[in-house]
Amino acid sequence: MSNQCATFYVDGLHFGVEVLQVQEVIRYQQMTRVPLAPTVVEGLINLRGQIVTALDLRRRLGLPDRPDGHRPMNIVVRTEDGVISLLVDEIGDVVDVQPDEFEAVPETVRSEVAGLVTGVYKRKERLLLLLDVNRAVAVDGDRMLPGGSSSAGATSSTKSQVN
């Protein structure tokens, strides 16, 4: 029995999400930034009257920021905590994956990435990392996030104490 995965790219890595978890894919939207929010939270977008939090997957995975001028895409996913948009570099194809291609995450994958990935599909062309959506969106109010660059937030919060 085969499964379908919607795939996308983040900093050269090839990720996949189970296709049934994806609500839609939309182009970059204007968004409202949320001051004091964890750095992974890119902002809030108005998705046909619904307010959706957009998370930057690069920051979530502890990867370097997107180069300037490169607009991310939104993959809107349904999770246990409601609808969330994940910002990714580029959208790939929807692919069929076979259970026998599946394997646990190799040791060599960085820990920030490995923590959010259920496993890999060894496909002919390249490895496809299967993203655990619920874990990826589990970001609480704490600025000290595993995988997020937290230094900027921490310094600015001390600054406000001085005020």
Partner 1 sequence: MDTNPEIIKEFLIDCYENLDRLDSELVALEQDPGNASRLASAFRTAHTIKGAAGFLAFGKLEKITHVGENLLSKMRDGKLVLNQDVTNGLLRMIDAVREIAEYVEAHGCEPSTDYGAVVTLLRTLDEETSAPPPAQAEATPAVDAPVAVAAPPTPVPAPVAVAQVAEVPPLDHLFVADPADAGRSDADSPNNKKQAVSDTALRVDVDLLDKLMTLVGELVLARNQILQLTSEQADSGLASATQRLNLVTSDLQEGVMKTRMQPIGNIWSKFPRVVRDVATQCGKQVRIEMEGKETDLDKTIIEAIKDPLTHIVRNAVDHGVEDPAIRTQRGKAAEGVLRLRAFHEGGQINIEIADDGAGIDPEKIRATAVRRGVITQEQAARMSDHEAIRLVFAPGFSTAETVTNISGRGVGMDVVKTNIEKIGGQVDIQSRVGEGTTLKIKIPLTLAIIPALIITSADGARYAIPQVNLLELVRLEAEAAASAIERIKGAQFYRLRGNLLPLVHLHRALELQSYQGEGDHAINIVVLKADNRQFGLVVDRINDTEEIVVKPLGKQLKGVSVFAGATIMGDGTVALILDVLGLAQRSSVLGESRTRNQADQALETAGADTAKQTLLLFRAGSHERLAIPLSQVARLEEFPAEMVERSGGLDVVQYRNDILPLVAMWGDRSDRTGTSRQAIVFDHKDAHVALVVDQIIDIVNETVVVQKKLARRGVLGSAVIQQKVTELVDVSEVLAAADRQMTGQAA
53 binds partner 1 (CB under 8 A): yes
Q: Is 151 in the site for partner 1 (CB under 8 A)?
A: no
Residue from 64, 113, 108 nearest 89 by CA: 64
- Looking at 4-163, list the stretches that DSSP marks H as alpha helix, in order from N- to C-terminal side: 57-60, 111-114, 133-136, 151-162
- Interstrand relation of 41-47 and 127-131 (parallel, antiparallel or unpaired): unpaired
State how far the alpha carbon of 10 is from the alpha carbons of 20, 48, 128, 141, in Å: 20, 26, 12, 24
Q: Determine if 154 is a binding residue for partner 1 (CB under 8 A).
A: no
Toward partner 1, which CB reaches closer, 52 or 73?
A: 52
If one asks whether residue 137 binds partner 1 (CB under 8 A), the answer comes out as yes
Which of these ranges, 18-26, 100-108, 115-123, 134-142, lies near partner 1 under the rule CB under 8 A?
A: 134-142
Residues of this chain that bind partner 1 (CB under 8 A) = 30-38, 40-41, 43-46, 49-53, 55, 81-82, 84, 137-142, 156-157, 159-160, 162-163
